[in-house]
Amino acid sequence: MERLLPYFLLLVAVVTAAVLLRGVSRRLRAKSDELQAFEGEEERMFDFLHVLGASIEAEATQLQLHRMIVDGVIRVVAARGGAIYVLGEDGETLLPKYLSEECPPLVAVPPEIRERAEHDPRALESYLRLTPVAVDGGLLGSALTADDTIRVDDLQSHESLRPAVPAGRGNRGSALLAPLHHGSQPLGVLAVTRDEVDGGFTRNDFAVFRSVAEQSAFALGNALLYREASEKRQFESELRNASEVQRVLLPQGEPQVPGYRVAGTNVPARIISGDYYDCLDLGDGCHGMVIADVSGKGVAAGLLMAMCRSVLRSHARGRIDPAEVLGHVNRQLFPDIREDMFITLFYGVIDGEGGRIRLARAGHDPALLFRAAEGNVESVKPPGLALGIDEGEVFERVTRVLEMDLASGDVLLFYTDGVKEAVDAAGEEFGMERLRAVFRESAPLGAEMAVATIQRELGQFVGDSPQMDDVTVLAMEKR
């Protein structure tokens, strides 16, 4: 027996070693499987990021980007379902943008929807895909305000998801939810789910999901900025095109009016101007001179300016009474002018080459008249109400025609309020007195020089200060 004891001990040692080796082998295989799973997850994540970047470069639509993110994250973490909710413009709701087919409800389902879904599964689908979710509660609201990714090990027991949903679309299983932020701006919530038969999410799944959620948020934020920049470029291009069209509406070159020299300029404060000036051939040797200023700036003012020009031209032909023309223009434009907008306008009808001119003013700044014989400047301000203030009766009663004769060398100056209200760096206005002085000095040199001098002096006065309003000047000189 004693002779067999060493053999027995050896046998025990061999068996023990075999057991230990088998355990080590199992652990090594487990580690190997875990490493392979990790490497596979890592490879899927890099593929996902590559596809994500390519989608942004290809200017994918929002729906395409949302679908690609959810489906891609599902593949990366081997989830069964997923969803993305985006914060609405009101900042108070989360909007379902894409839910995969096997994503269980992440919101509570009302009883009436559950009852309908028993007979029509589409009722639940429609509810989940179309119903906004309040951000002040529930699982998604909690995820949006969370500082980090959250894990729910049992969706069915989560208090915010009760009562249970209909059979066939249950919420047994687990979920990972991450808030999506771009900088300090909240964007929404990304979620992935697993059924209970799939097993729960591991710590590695959690870490990988957190990483891909951060990358998804970065991609969504960049895509949003890219779209905004693209839309801005497109809008600016359209504005430039509109500005070029608008410039065509101004007289091209010096207007030709027998017996007169006419000069004008229009400098918009923005791409689109709310000012305009015009010279019209009315027939029978008569010509019309117009300057107008639409309240406000930008596109709305530019559109109203174009309307005013078109309507005035349609009524001016063959009419030598400027007040009558403005009355027709006011009645036609009034229904289409917003309550907070109006148009000031000065309209003169030149009757042949003799120097006779009829003037009507619709609330515009007074014109300035340089009398060559005396060398002085006087204001010309016939009574009148701005266009768009009154439907017609009061406008036509108030607006009156002023007739006058111009002698050789006389210069009549029209301008918009952007001239006298221009300010320098110290906040001082150019003002009427300065405008009168500049006009008095330059008018003896003719209409062209008067306009050029006013424009030069205005530019020197303002300096580098931004132009706050459109600047339009129109001068006519009797030869």
Out of 228, 251, 279, a domain closes at 228
pLDDT for position 367: 97
Indicate the helix (H) or strand (E) that contains 328: helix 322-333
Domain of residue 62, residue span: 33-228
Task: Render pLDDT for 109-147 as a digit per residue (tens, 0 to 9).
Answer: 888 988 888 888 888 899 999 999 999 888 999 999 998
234 domain-assigned = no
Domain end, chosen from 228, 256, 288, is at: 228
- Judge whether residue 35 has pLDDT over 50: no
Please name every residue paired with 358 in a beta bridge, in sequence order, or none if there are none. Answer: 349, 403
Termini Cα distance of the chain: 145
Residue 135 domain-assigned (yes or no): yes
State the virtual CA torsion across 30, 32, 36, 39 in degrees, nearest 10. Answer: 110
> Between the ranges 153-162, 206-215, 231-240, 438-447, where is the mean pLDDT highest?
438-447
Last residue within a domain, chosen from 228, 258, 282: 228
Give residue for tokens 């980090």. 148
Q: Are residues 275 and 373 in the same domain?
A: yes
Comparing CA positions, the residue from 268, 332, 329 lying closest to residue 302 is 268
CATH of the domain at 73: 3.30.450.40
Confidence of residue 8 (pLDDT cuts 50, 70, 90): low
CA 32 to chain centre: 54
Query: Is residue 19 one of the residues assigned to a domain?
Result: no
Is residue 90 packed enough to be buried (19+ CB in 10 Å), middle (13-18) or exposed (0-12)?
exposed
Taking the CA atoms of 72, 77, 82 and 87 in sequence, report the sign of the dihedral they define.
negative
404 domain residue, yes or no: yes
In a domain, 7, yes or no: no
Q: Are residues 129 and 272 both part of a single domain? A: no
Q: Does residue 28 lie in a domain region? A: no
Residue 361 lies in a domain: yes
| 200 torsion bin: left (phi>0), alpha (psi -120 to 50), beta (else) | beta
Q: Is residue 235 part of a domain?
A: no
3-class DSSP assignment, residue 253: coil
Tell me, yes or no, whether 90 and 168 share the same domain. yes
Strand-strand pairing, 356-362 and 471-478:
unpaired
pLDDT digits (tens, 9 = 90+) for 335-379: 988 888 999 999 999 998 888 999 999 999 999 999 999 999 999
Claim to verify: residue 74 and residue 185 sit in the same structural domain: yes
- Quick check: 367 and 336 in contact, CB under 8 A? no
Q: Looking at residue 39, what is its pLDDT?
A: 52
Q: Are residues 54 and 160 in the same domain?
A: yes
Q: How many domains are contained in the chain?
A: 2
CATH number at residue 385: 3.60.40.10
Mean pLDDT score, 292-305 = 86
259 and 175 together in one domain: no
289 and 424 both lie in a single domain? yes
3-state DSSP call for residue 198?
Answer: helix
Query: Residue 175: beta bridge partners?
Result: 152, 193
The pLDDT value recorded for residue 6 is 57
Q: Is 301 left (phi over 0), alpha (psi -120 to 50) or beta?
A: alpha
132 neighbors 94 (Cβ within 8 angstroms): yes
Residues 314, 293, single domain; the answer is yes
pTM, full prediction: 0.62
Domain match, 159 and 252 both: no
Looking at residue 292, its pLDDT comes to: 95
Same domain, 168 and 104: yes
